[in-house]
């Protein structure tokens, strides 16, 4: 079900969280800049890896995540949003 113009609530929440964390935002921006000519590079996969790495039990976002939450996130949609914002 669409939420705030995103595929679903889960995608909106993760995108909002990433776009409002300066360190993560800059890391994603740098990854885009460093790999812009690499056709095999998947920004969506990189973002998924970042999110999975930082959503540990000691992270405040973890309390918002229910079973299967991250599997509902459209990481490619978030990647496209970052690419559009950084043009």
**pLDDT tens digits, 67-79:** 467 889 999 999 9
* pLDDT at res. 56: 65
Q: Is the dihedral of CA 65, 84, 25, 79 positive or negative?
A: positive
The domains of the chain are located at 9-85
What is the torsion angle, in degrees rounded to the nearest 10, for the CA atoms of residue 62, residue 63, residue 69 and residue 75?
-40
**Tens digits of per-residue pLDDT, 34-85?**
998 898 999 999 998 888 777 766 666 665 555 467 889 999 999 999 999 8
């Amino acid at each position: 079900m669409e939420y705030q113009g995103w595929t679903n609530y889960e995608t909106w929440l993760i995108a909002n969280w990433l776009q409002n964390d300066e360190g993560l935002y800059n890391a994603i921006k740098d990854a885009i800049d460093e790999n812009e000519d690499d056709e095999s590079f998947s920004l969506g996969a990189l973002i998924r890896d970042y999110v999975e790495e930082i959503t540990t039990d000691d992270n405040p976002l973890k309390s918002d995540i229910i079973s299967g939450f991250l599997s509902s996130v459209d990481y490619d949609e978030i990647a496209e949003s970052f690419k559009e914002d950084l043009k």
